[in-house]
Structure 1
Amino acid sequence: MHGWIVYNGHLKSPKFLDYAELIQEAAQQKGISMTIYPNHELLSTMSGEGMSITGADTAEHPDFVIFGDKDILLARQLESMGIPVYNSADAIEACDHKGVMYQRLAQKQLPIPETILGPKIFIKTDELHLTHLINEGVKLGFPLIIKEAYGSFGEQVYLVHTKEEMMNKLRSIHNRPFLLQQFISASYGRDVRLNVVGEEVVASMLRYSEHDFRANVTTGGKMEPYSPSDAEKELAIRASKAIGTTFCGVDLLYDEYGQPVICEVNGNAQIRNIYECTGINVAEKMMVHVMKQHSKKGGEGI
């Protein structure tokens, strides 16, 4: 077996290459060779004769691809060539746009904060027609959350406390996809991350912040190992299935009754922090899953 690992080569943080290297090392320990590619070295080309990938040393197709990026068209191109991609392009797209993600979770009637999608506006304008949206936002109550549809690591997420704050934030972001969301105040600065591989929760940690409503480690949060209940595991797996992910991180908040509420499903969940927190190497679990999938197909691809 030989696979590729794709990451975004233009993102400056070393965590993206680190993710790829963790997977490569875990694969090698299982006897699987993996080549790491930044996405800009894999160019999708099309003609009347079909589709292909152009890049250094890409003449031989891999048995599978671990896709640690959000370059959806590249993932779709690989799939169109018959190469299994984890996660699928469809799942990457659903996780990448938070509006799509919440639609899919709501479609399966899974517990999420009450959410209102902002209208698509396209352009930056002073002539905003958001009276109805603002009225609905007020009904959610303050403080409330405003999220840009595209964002990671707790960024592009805003907590607003008044109608004036809400209007000011909408004036600044309205030309980008966004949504309004109920704030789960009982979970202020606290959430649980559950890493799902296939249909199993393989690692979990509690994240908390003493200074921020977001618990993300990237924004200064702390972490400790967490033992989820069977109900929490089941909810995380159902969330993963609703989105269509093979590998993901499911973040849970907790309401005033202590009941879990799905905050987000992250299709490109980083695995270094949870490794350091729990000692569990999620990359190894991912490779075991890939090998099982390969075995089911009789070794002829995955």
Structure 2
Amino acid sequence: MITGWVIYKEEDKKRNETFISWMQEAASRRGMILEVVTYESLAVTLSGREAMFPGRPKPDFLVVRTCTPWLNEAAEMRGIRVFNCSKVSRIANDKRLSHAYMNCLGIPMLPSTAAHRKSLHYMSPSYPFILKDPFGRGGTGVEWIARPQQLNRTLKDELLMQPVGGQRGRDVRVYVVGGKIAGSILRESQTDFKANISGGANAVFYELSDADKAVVHTITASLKLDFAGLDFLLDEEDGLLFNEMEDAVGCRSLYMNSSVDIADVFMEHVFSELV
């Protein structure tokens, strides 16, 4: 029997218990076992010839939902199939890398600059502008900078800098499973320039245009996306502007606004990759 682990950090496991159970049920319907393992409980052998996970049977696959690319890559070195692969995890979990990669593909985006916090005092940016923590998720670590005095506040050392752009408080999340579009959600906030569901934004199912699908296809043709979210701002003509990629993407808004059972879709992809 095919046995895999889905890995969460302890605090995220508690918030995702329902989604985890849906994945486990979907795996079971295909004759697979999906065990939940917390990141904090793992001891990983990196030297010698011992088992990678001492005291535990070697899993056939890993679903890593912890935004820790090193674990994806270390497991791949031991011959374990990982969803997503380490390349995707590295690119998705560092906004600087994701923007650099998408730029090479010709994907539309706002002008983006990687900068150290100290370098901001030697630059002459046009206010207002946006500063982002490259490793932030779910809208965390995103600052609207309207005046120089705000640069004295506590900021991360490593930053992504962008001008204010796109339609304020509106973005589109495209869910991709096995390189195919599984569904898309439009998120809108009336009170914030960010459109995160956790921040109170509204969400509705969104039909992508042919031009939108072409943008997504350019990305999926280059990157092997097992299960990811592609987030886009909207320009004034509703065209897509790449914003970020979520490796451990949240799916609550998709379940609330569509009939797509993405846990089942994902487990079907996992099964097809392993048999």
TM-score (norm 2): 0.91
2:80 and 2:233 map into 1 onto residues whose CA distance is 36
Q: Determine the C-alpha separation between the residues in 2 that align with 1:116 and 1:80.
A: 33
Residue 235 (1) aligns with residue 211 (2): no
Give the superposition deviation at 1:187.
1.4
Consecutive unaligned residues of structure 1, counting only runs of 5 or more, are: 122-127
Q: Residue 96 of structure 2 aligns to a residue in which SS?
A: helix
Q: 1:206-236: per-residue Cα shift (whole Å, max 9, x none)?
A: 1111111111100111111111112212322
- The one of 90, 93, 96 equivalent to 2:93 is 96
Aligned with 1:246 (options 226, 230, 240): 226
- Conservation of the 8 A alpha-carbon contact between 2:185 and 2:253: no
Structure 1: how far apart are the matches of 2:152 and 2:259?
A: 44
In the superposition, the TM-score normalised over structure 1's length comes to: 0.83
Identify the residue that residue 190 of structure 1 maps to in structure 2: 170
Determine the C-alpha separation between the residues in 2 that align with 1:242 and 1:30: 29
Q: 1:149 matched to which residue of 2?
A: 134
Partner secondary structure for residue 70 of structure 1: coil
Could you tell me which residue of structure 1 aligns to residue 155 of structure 2? 173
**Are residue 265 (structure 1) and residue 242 (structure 2) matched?**
no
- Change in Cα spacing, 1:12 to 1:47, as seen in structure 2 (3 Å) is closer
Structure 2 unaligned blocks of 5 or more: none
Moved over 4 A (4+): 240-244
Amino acid of the residue matched to residue 109 of structure 1? Answer: G
In the aligned structure 2, how far is the partner of 1:69 from the partner of 1:16?
12
Is the contact made by 2:129 and 2:163 (CA closer than 8 Å) also made in structure 1? yes
**Aligned residue runs from structure 1 range 14-163, under 5 A:** 14-49=14-49, 52-55=52-55, 58-59=56-57, 61-119=58-116, 128-132=118-122, 134-135=123-124, 137-138=125-126, 142-163=127-148
Rate the CA distance shift 1:263–1:228 in 2: closer, same or farther, 3 A.
same
1:8 aligns with 2:6: no
SS in 2 for 1:205: strand
What is the alpha-carbon distance in structure 1 between the residues aligned to residue 220 and residue 142 of structure 2? 22
| In structure 1, distance between residues paired with 2:173 and 2:12 | 24
Give the distance between the partners of 1:116 and 1:75, measured in 2 at CA: 27
Question: Aligned letter for 2:53?
Answer: I
Pairwise CA distance, 1:203: 1.2
* Distance change in 2, residues 1:131/1:72 (3 Å): same
- Which residue matches 1:125? none
8 Å contact from structure 1 (residues 104, 242) kept in 2: no
CA distance change for structure 1 residues 255 and 161 in 2, over 3 Å: closer, same or farther? Answer: same
Q: Contact conserved, 1:3 with 1:62, CA < 8 A, in 2? A: yes
The corresponding residue for 1:217 is 197
Whether the 8 Å contact between 1:118 and 1:179 is mirrored in structure 2 is yes
- Residue in structure 2 matching 1:291, options 259, 271, 274: 271
**Preserved CA contact (<8 Å) 1:193 1:249:** yes
Aligned-residue CA RMSD (Å)? 2.1
Question: Is the 8 Å Cα contact of residues 180 and 220 (structure 2) preserved in structure 1?
Answer: no
Q: Contact 1:105–1:243 at 8 Å: present in 2 too?
A: no
Q: How many Å apart are 1:174 and its aligned residue? A: 4.6
Is the Cα–Cα contact under 8 Å of residues 231 and 242 in structure 2 kept in the other structure? yes
CA separation of 1:148/1:212 partners in 2, compared to 1, >3 Å: closer, same or farther?
same
